Amino acid sequence: MDNIAIELRGIDKSFGPVHANKNINLKVRKGTIHGIIGENGAGKSTLMSILYGFYQADSGEIIVDGRPVTIRDPNAAIAAGIGMVHQHFMLVENFTVLENVMLGAEDSQILNKGIAKARVELRRLEKEYALEVNPDALIEELPVGLQQRVEILKALYRKADILILDEPTGVLTPAEADHLFRILEQLKDQGKTIILITHKLREIMAITDEVSVMRRGEMVATRTTSETSVEELAELMVGRRVLLRVQKGEGTPGDVKLSVQGLMVKDSRGVTMVDNVSFDVRAGEIVGIAGVAGNGQSELLEAIAGIRKAATGTVLLNGESVDVTGHRDPAALRARGLAHVPEDRHHVGLVLKFEESENAILGYHHDPRYLNGIFLNIDAIRKDAEEKIAKYDIRPPNARLKTANFSGGNQQKIVLAREMERGPDVLIIGQPTRGVDVGAIEFIHKRIIEMRDQGKAVLLVSVELDEIRALSDRILVMFAGRVVGERSPDATEGELGLLMAGVEGRKEAAE
C-alpha cells in the first residue's frame, strides 16, 4: 500500500433510475499517469466528481495515501491533496491570472501582503513546472492553452499532489496538446500523481503508465499501457470490436449544391476572420476544411448557416442566392435544405434545460408533424425523439431527461440526429466528434459517409487532422482566414501541417 496514492473501494452511485457507478474498485500508484477511459456515459466523470467532492457516493470508501478520507466537498478534496482541472475551465474571465490562482485560497488579512506572497509562489511554480504565463494577464485575453495552464497552477498553488484532468485536450490544438503532455511528464517526474480522463486512445498510449476501462458504470479492466493496444482498449470500452479506420468507397460527385464565392467575414472587433474564400461543394462529396482552430473556420460556417453576417461575398444554395450580407434567417435556410451541426453544441446547438425530446425538434418545431392545430403535439414529439434515440443509440434512452444530464457525446448525437434525419441537401458540420468516445466516433463517421452516399453535399470542419483525411473527398486548408491550398485525402500529414502553419500556402500564393 505504500506506493498507492488513491484507492477506491466499492464506490456506488445512482441518480434516480440511472446507476452511474456500480461497485467501482480502483488503485492509482504514486508518481504515475493513470488513464481512465470509457464511452460517453460510462461513469468516468461521475467517479472523478465523487473523488473531488462534487458528489457523494451512495456507498464505498476513498483511501488517500493509505488513510480513509471523507470528501464531502471540493475543499475537503483540496485538503486531502487532490486538485482537478475541469473540461470546461472554472476561471473568472475578467480576473487576472494571479487573482484566479488566489481565489478561494487567500491567506492574509491584509490583501496586499497576500497578493505579494501569492505572486512569489506563482513565479516559483511557473519556473519549477515550466508553466510560464503572465500573472497580470486577464483570463479572457489568453488562448485556451494558457487558460489550462492557469487551472493547473491553481491546483499546484493549493498543494495538490494528485491531479485529475478531465478531457484536457478537447479544446487544444495538436501543438498545445503536445506541450501539455510535456508538462504532465514533468509533473510526474516531480512526484505528482495524475489521473487522466480522455476518450482519445492515441493519447492514452502516448502518455499513461496504466489505464483503467469503464463500461456502463462498471470498471471492466486495468492494463499496463505498454502491454496493451489501441484495438484491445477500444474493444474493452465498447464491448465489441471497433473499426478504427473509416471504410468508404469512391464518391460520385454530382451537381454543385453549395457555392461560396469571395466571402469575407469580420468579427465584432472589425477584424477580418474570413478573407475572400471561394469553393464549391457537390452532391455526393465531402469537402473537409482543415486548419488550426481560430483561423476562420468557425466564422465561415456561421456565415453560411445564417448565424453571422458576412461583409461581402455570395453564397448559392441549390443554385439560388443566399443573402449572407443582409438579413440573417437560419430558419429559412433550413427550409431550403441546409442543415447545420454547430461546433459549440452547448451554446448554439442545444438548450440544456430542455428535455431531450424538445431539443430533438429545436428549429424544426413548426413542422406540421409536430403540431396539433396551433399547439405542439407532445405525443408526436416524444415518439419522434424515441425513434431517434433508438437509431442513434443515445444513452440513457429517456426522451424526458433534461439534456444537461446527458454526456457530451450523447448530446452530440442528439444534435446530429436532429439535423441528419431531416434529409438535407447540404449538411455543414463543425467538429463532429469533439468530446466523443471511440464507439460513438465510429457511428458518427458511418452516418456522415451514408449522407454522402445518399447524394448529400457535406462540408466538414474539424481540428482532428486524422478525421479530415479519413472522411474527406477533397481537403481545403485554411490559414489566417484564407484557403491556402487544396489537397486530396492522400496528402501526408506533414504536407497538410505545413499548409496549416501557412508555410506552403505562402509559396503557392507566390507562384
- DSSP collapsed to 3 states, 375-442: EECHHHHHHHHHHHHHHCCCCCCCCCCEHHHCCHHHHHHHHHHHHHCCCCCEEEEECCCCCCCHHHHH
Q: Cβ(456)–Cβ(449) under 8 Å?
A: no
The whole-angstrom separation of Cα 157 and Cα 310 is 45
What is the pLDDT confidence band of residue 72, given thresholds at 50, 70 and 90? very high
The whole-angstrom separation of Cα 248 and Cα 245 is 10
Q: 265 or 175: which carries more pLDDT confidence?
A: 265
| Secondary structure in 3-state letters for 220-250 | EEEEEHHHCCHHHHHHHHHCCCCCCCCCCCC
Rounding to the nearest 10 degrees, give the CA dihedral for residues 386, 387, 391, 393.
0
Q: What is the pairing mode between strands 210-215 and 218-224? A: antiparallel
Rounded-to-5 percentages of helix, strand, coil across the chain: 35, 25, 35
How many whole angstroms from its chain centre is CA 125?
28
Residue 242 has pLDDT above 70, yes or no: no
Identity of residue 46: T
Lowest mean pLDDT among 6-20, 158-172, 209-223, 291-305: 158-172
The correct answer on CATH 3.40.50.300 for the domain covering 256-349+409-510 is: yes
- Please return the burial class of 393, using the count of CB atoms within 10 Å of its CB with bins 0-12, 13-18 and 19+: middle
- Model confidence pLDDT, tens digit, residues 340-395: 999 988 889 999 999 999 999 999 999 999 999 999 999 999 999 999 999 998 98
Predicted pLDDT of residue 168: 84
Residue 110 has pLDDT above 60, yes or no: no
- Model confidence pLDDT, tens digit, residues 159-171: 889 999 988 876 6
**Taking residues 463-479, what's their average pLDDT?**
92
Look at residues 300, 421, 451 and name the one whose alpha carbon lies nearest to residue 361.
421
Most confident of 47-51, 247-251, 433-437: 47-51
Predicted pLDDT of residue 439: 76
Q: H or E segment at 470?
A: helix 465-471
**Residue range(s) of every CATH 3.40.50.300 domain in the chain:** 1-81+161-240, 256-349+409-510
Predicted pLDDT of residue 510: 47
Long-range contacts from 75-80, C-beta under 8 angstroms, 24+ separation: 77/51, 77/52, 77/53, 78/158, 78/159, 78/160
Its CATH architecture, for the domain 1-81+161-240, is 3-Layer(aba) Sandwich (3.40)
pTM assigned to the model: 0.71
How many whole angstroms from its chain centre is CA 343?
9
The whole-angstrom separation of Cα 433 and Cα 447 is 12
Residue 287 has pLDDT above 60, yes or no: yes
**Taking residues 278-307, what's their average pLDDT?**
94
